[in-house]
Structure 1
Amino acid sequence: MDKREFGAFLRSRRERITPAEVGLPAGKRRRTPGLRRDEVAHLAFISTEYYTRLEQARAPHPSREVLAGLARALRLSDVEGTYLHRLVGIEPSLPPGPSRLVRQSILDLLDRLPQAAAIVVSATYEVIAWNDLACALMEDFSALAPRERNLARRAFLDPGPHGRRLYGVTDVDEFSRTCALHLRAAAARYPNDPETTQLINELRSGSAEFAELWADHDVCAQTMLCKTFHHPAVGPVSVNCDVLDITDRDQRVVIYTAEPGSASENALALLSVVGTQRMDVPG
């Protein structure tokens, strides 16, 4: 254990956090930048004396529970938490399941893409964030229960709105193949997550196609560059599909954009106006 680096790292993280960020009053006589040692100790559920000794490189080897408490109290990122563990010579525990918490900066990014439909999916293809145009192009995710927002279930088990499999996309077979291998990789990363296991068992028992793909044991994906949605109101919408990995959350941002000046760009512009209104239903 590198006690000196461990203590210096704790102090540097402590000094960068304001009391307001952890719900504490600033006070008028605060002499230290960031939090005080006793405040970090309280948030981490350890004694002030022990925390002080950790910063001063005088404490014994901290346990995994203490490290988890410090990471939580100091608002460490996943990368910082991993570094903290490795300073002590302990590999961090695997997360119990895929993260559904989307960073605020990613949510802001979705809102700043008014001409693109964009969603965020978890490692198990649950749609966990979206913008308005994505709802207009695909479906209103806000009106669905979390279980119903899963694109794997949509692709293999549920025809979806208007009887269109996966919103009528032209590359549904390629998507299905990629989905199966991504889920195999997720199962390896989260072997103890009951929701991941349940989803895969549900797909294997309910879809012969998925069961066959699963039996192939493929783990290498191909990049999908473009696809066409067959929308019930505006017709075919051809889009470029770009995927941005959020590695620290094991999530992906999927962005659909149309070629400038194309009929599909006009269709997306129309969808951005009408939103999720049903234009195909007689008034």
Structure 2
Amino acid sequence: MDRGELAAFLRSRRERITPADVGLPAGPRRRTPGLRREEVAQLAFVSTEYYTRLEQARGPRPSREVLAGLARALRLSDAESDHLHHLAGTPPGLPTGPSRQVRPSILDLLRRLPQAAAIALSATYEIIAWNDLAAALMEDFSALPWRDRNVLRRAFLEPYPQGRRLYGLSDADGFARVSVQHLRAVAARYPGDPEVAGLVDELVTGSEEFARLWASHEVGARPDLRKTFRHPLVGPITVNCDVLDIADRDQRVVIYTADPGSSSEEALRLLSVIGTQRLDVPG
């Protein structure tokens, strides 16, 4: 274990992350570059004292679980996570939790689909990348903290604006059932991950519907591959839903396309011009 290099690496990664990146308020008196030590500790599920000792090159060798928590909290890439493990004297093993890191080639793919709305989802239904048309069709994800980009929290814990569950999705109730079954499989793949367990506990406690679906122990449902969004500005938009599995990261790319020549295709074209501006708000 190289305590000095480990301390320097942790400090450099902490200082590059803004509070907004992890859904925390910046506050008027923040003098520390990036996150505070106690914030990293909280996100990594370790004590502040323990994390401080690591940054001061005084800590004991971290376990794989602690290293996985630090990698998530500091938003490390796969290469950075491997480097962290080697500095700690613990060669990287299989991932203990879902990855949020999106490959550059996938980000480029999303940008190359100007006539399709496309999002990338983590294993726990967090929207981790999107293109401009997806933001116009659903919402401006860049304006949300990362916690609020989780589709499961949106489906089960938040009120429905204007009675529109999940952006007015036609099969919102069916999607809810499928997503719960998918999350149960994810929980089985990552049994030691505190973030997955915390999400499940939050949903079971906060939603009777989720608790009922979770208690059914069902897995393996197939999603509806054709959906209709009820958009507040351009009305209903019916799209085909195709899913690409990114197996090595346990992620999915969801692509929404309208039939050629349809009114929904025209609506998507209009949304590509409107973008995320709200024409229904006076001002």
Task: Indicate whether the TM-score tops 0.5.
Answer: yes
Q: Partner of 1:7 in structure 2?
A: none
C-alpha separation in 2, matches of 1:94 and 1:188: 14
Aligned positions, number: 202
CA, structure 1 residues 150+75, in 2 after alignment: closer, same or farther (shift >3 Å)? closer
Residue 94 (structure 1) shift: 3.2
Structure 1 residue 96 displacement after superposition:
2.0
Instruction: State the SS of the aligned residue for 1:248.
Output: helix
Distance of aligned partners of 1:143 and 1:190 in 2 relative to their CA distance in 1, 3 Å threshold: same
Letter paired with 2:187: A
Match of 1:14 in 2: none
Q: Deviations along 1:30-81, whole A, 9 cap, x unmatched?
A: xxxxxxxxxxxxxxxxxxxxxxxxxxxxxxxxxxx9xxxxxxxx969x9xxx
Query: Hey, what does 1:155 align to over in structure 2?
Result: 155
Q: Give, as a single letter, the amino acid of the residue that structure 2 aligns with 1:117.
A: A
Alpha-carbon distance in structure 1 between the residues aligned to 2:141 and 2:150: 10
2:118 partner amino acid: A
Q: Confirm or deny that 1:112 pairs with 2:112.
A: yes
Structure 1 residues without counterparts, runs of 5 or longer = 1-64, 66-73, 79-91
Q: Does structure 1 conserve the Cα–Cα contact (< 8 Å) formed by 2:121 and 2:129?
A: yes
Measured after TM superposition, the shift of residue 196 of structure 1 is 0.8
CA distance in 2, matches of 1:160, 1:134: 19
Tell me, in whole angstroms, the C-alpha distance in 1 between the residues paired with 2:79 and 2:167: 39
- Residue in 2 that maps onto 1:130: 130
Aligned to 1:264: 264
Structure-2 change in CA distance of 1:190 and 1:271 (3 Å): same
Matched residue, 2:203: 203
| Pair 175,277 (structure 1): closer, same or farther in 2 beyond 3 Å | same
Q: Contact 2:174–2:223 (CA<8 Å) still a contact in 1?
A: no
Written as runs of structure 1 = structure 2, the 5 A alignment for 1:57-206 is 93-159=93-159, 161-206=161-206
Alpha-carbon distance, 1:171 to partner? 0.3
Give the Å deviation of 1:117: 0.3
Distance (Å, rounded) in 2 between the aligned partners of 1:236 and 1:115: 17
Residue identity matched to 2:179: C
Aligned equivalents of 2:143, 2:119: Cα separation in 1:
15
Structure 1 residue 163, shift from structure 2 partner: 4.5
| 1:122 positional shift | 0.3
Taking the aligned partners of 2:217 and 2:79, their CA distance within structure 1 comes to 38
Asked if the contact 1:240/1:258 (under 8 Å) is kept, the reply is yes
CA distance in structure 2 between the aligned counterparts of 1:214 and 1:119, rounded to whole angstroms: 25
Contact 2:127-2:150 at 8 Å conserved across structures? yes
Q: TM-score, normalised by structure 2?
A: 0.67
Runs of 4+ in structure 1 over 4 Å off = 160-163
Query: C-alpha displacement at 1:159, in angstroms?
Result: 3.0
How far apart are residue 232 of structure 1 and its match?
A: 0.5
Counterpart residue number, 2:5 = none
Q: Which runs of 5+ in 2 are unaligned?
A: 1-63, 65-77, 83-91
1:159 and 1:252 map into 2 onto residues whose CA distance is 26
1:165 shift after superposition:
1.1
* Paired residue secondary structure (2:268): helix
Map of 1:71 onto structure 2: none
Change (3 A) 1:139 1:160: farther
For the Cα contact (< 8 Å) 1:126–1:151, is it kept in 2?
Answer: yes
CA distance in 1, matches of 2:116, 2:273: 13
User: Which residue identity does 1:222 align to in structure 2?
Assistant: R
Are the counterparts in 1 of residues 99 and 122 from structure 2 also a CA contact under 8 Å? yes
Alignment pair present for 1:212 and 2:212: yes
Give the conservation status (yes or no) of the 8 Å contact 1:117–1:137. Answer: yes
TM-fit CA distance, 1:182 = 0.8
Identity percentage of aligned residues: 70
| 8 Å Cα contact 1:181/1:219 also seen in 2 | yes
Aligned to 2:70: none
Partner of 1:222: 222
| Structure 2 CA distance for aligned equivalents of residues 162 and 218 of structure 1 | 31
Moved more, 121-130 or 222-231: 222-231
TM-score norm. by structure 1 comes to 0.67
